[in-house]
Structure 1
Amino acid sequence: MEGQQGRGWRGLDPNSKSVKALQQQLAAEVGLPAFEVHRPEDTQAIATSFHRDGFAVVKDVLSESQVNALHRGCLRVIDEILTLDPEGRGNRGSHRYSFGSASLTDAQLHQPEWVALLEIPSIIAMIGTVFGGPDFLVRSAGGDFCLPGACDYQPLHSDMSDRQSFELKPGKSLVVGSFFDREARLNYRDLPCPYIACNFITSDWTSQNGPIRQVAGTQNSQVPMPSLAEEPTWMRSSRLYPLSAGSIILRDVRAWHGGTPNVSDEVRAMPNVEFFAPWYREPLVRSLPLALYRGLGPEAQRRCRYIVERKGTPLKLGYRRHLGGTPENSRSRVTNASID
């Protein structure tokens, strides 16, 4: 894997006593116990794990050459983002970033490495089995990354909610989500899985480099998520490691999850593709350039029909001011001793 020196530990001392203590603490934790790791062809077992736990882990999905190409693409985009954020402030907390939120299109589908993820046959088969049919859609593609020096935990959160509307200015509002029961009998957690995030592992995950933590079986939970101060130790340590590069994690986006510290010397990049169930829709942002769309096969084009650039209306590409900022429910917090 390419060298990654100089991308992390911005304004922090990796040799401080508090960092060394955190490294020892993370090494001593065993992570989420006994989570299943499937092979790509075991689609029914993958679907069973997914519906039970709210996620499924699959190894050996990408070849070594695919992993290397994807990781190089991630590092290129990361370097572009870091030129706009030399202090490592992040947009999901210090040293922690969303690829999608940083972009003016909410996605990275103008990057060929992300487009290459849209029609991997084994993944299409898995998604179709989980959803029970082939008529699903691509919602977006982005993901996240954390730099060395992301010493905090991100609060537990989920990636969707019931429909909400926010007034941005007179005459202009933002609608988030889709499902809304006027009789207040159901909410989005009562539904079958509305959409899946497929996360790609581009480097081996260890106790030190910020693997995601995932609380199993919470996709339909109606109880409030605990804050970091309230979160029990077993949840905070439910990290998905070890995992090898080339693996994927299929996530029901409603399930509770959060980022963990990266106290290694390498960037932990986790690009993704997101898929809507055949029956589910939300307002979508067009993010896939026509030129890249035309290089896809017919089935992939059909799945991307609502996010492709319109003829005569070119996409505005680039990065948001302040990289989109950090939502309150995704802002990482210090839970250990302050960094020296």
Structure 2
Amino acid sequence: MSSSITVLRGHRRDPAWVPACGLTSSTRDTRVIESARRINGGTMLKVDILEASEIERAAAVFHRDGFVCVANPLDEEQFALIRSGAERVMAEQEAEFGRDKMNRGFARHSFGSQLRNWEWCILIDLPTILPIIDAIWGSDDYTCTGAGGDYSLPGAKIQHLHSDRNADLFNDPLGRVTHHDVPAPFIVINFTMVDFTVENGAIRFIPGTQRSRAPIPSLEDEPEWMRTNHLCAPANTAVIRDVRCWHGGTANNSSMKRPMTSVGYHAPWHRAVEEKSLPREHYDRLSARGQRLCRHIVMPA
């Protein structure tokens, strides 16, 4: 794709851009649509929220846009468990840091590594998600890097666009190949714990930027359409994303917390020094597939 940010919005590879009046017909929750309608002047990404069974289509959308949304990755019991864990940890972190000293700016915080809490471990080997990752990479020999997520509280401001993978993996002495030129080296799956709306600070994405060598504009230099590309989705939606794709938080103008949990995987061809963050007692509870995924991050016995 072109390296110029001025062509991203109309690029044939990107989803359509539509007024903030609702999601596509595949959306399952009208509360998100109604919340978006109340916001004047905003825009939303028009995205299809796919079923977990649409494996090949999900992989194709991911390769095109740098992310794909999947409906209901967690069953009711799993969703209740991870949401309760997120609520507990948010309360603990807010009590410890206060809104002024959070690690992503005022009222915005990263959960950090959370595999010490079993609630996050259930995200590692979901049968609704792993077949899609298998299809994206054409292999099941990838590895889990950890689990965490982030959240914003009421009063959080818009966050600058960024990529989660800025350091070049290759250091090509000829300068011909960079980490922008290869398939996704690192995939993170975010799980929406509440309905994500324009009002409560839904994450924003710039589709197709996972391979772009263009410099990411500062918040001051962003065109308005980039600032308002809210990805609105119902609670219990998985956002499978190439971490290179440009994204950022938006202002939380609601009275509610906006949490999303996450799990990450490195590509079969990519290895890094991983933190031994998974307690042995949690590792022993995982499926055989989950244990294989976590072989590099399990703590010594």
Q: Indicate the TM-score class for this superposition, using the shorter chain for normalisation.
A: 0.7 to 0.9
1:211-246 deviation per Cα after TM superposition (whole angstroms, max 9, x unaligned)? 1000000000001000001000111111101x1111
Q: Percent identity?
A: 39
Structure 1 residues 161 and 117: alpha-carbon distance in aligned structure 2, compared to 1, 3 A threshold: same
2:138 equivalent to 1:132:
yes
Would you say the 8 A contact 2:277–2:297 is kept in 1?
A: yes
Identify the residue that residue 308 of structure 1 maps to in structure 2. 298
Q: Superposition pairs for residues 130-279 of structure 1, below 5 Å?
A: 130-150=136-156, 152-163=157-168, 178-241=169-232, 243-279=233-269
Q: Superposition pairs for residues 15-54 of structure 1, below 5 Å?
A: 27-54=39-66
RMSD over aligned Cα, in angstroms?
1.7
1:40 counterpart SS class: coil
Larger Rg: 1
Would you say the 8 A contact 1:162–1:179 is kept in 2?
A: no
TM-score (norm 2): 0.85
Structure 1 residues 24 and 229: alpha-carbon distance in aligned structure 2, compared to 1, 3 A threshold: farther
What is the distance in 2 between the residues matched to 1:291 and 1:29? 50
Would you say the 8 A contact 1:158–1:253 is kept in 2?
A: yes
Identify the residue that residue 275 of structure 2 maps to in structure 1. 285
1:155-188 deviation per Cα after TM superposition (whole angstroms, max 9, x unaligned)? 100001235xxxxxxxxxxxxxx43222221110
Would you say the 8 A contact 1:162–1:187 is kept in 2?
A: no
Structure 1 residues 216 and 191: alpha-carbon distance in aligned structure 2, compared to 1, 3 A threshold: same
**Is there any run of 5+ residues in structure 1 with no aligned partner, and where?**
1-22, 101-106, 164-177, 312-340
TM-score (norm 1): 0.75
Structure 2 residue aligned with 1:121, among 114, 121, 127? Answer: 127
2:290 counterpart SS class: helix
What is the distance in 1 between the residues matched to 2:267 and 2:101? 35
1:182-205 deviation per Cα after TM superposition (whole angstroms, max 9, x unaligned)? 222111011111010000011111
1:17-57 deviation per Cα after TM superposition (whole angstroms, max 9, x unaligned)? xxxxxx99981245333222111100111011100000001
Deviation at 1:267, TM superposition (A): 0.8
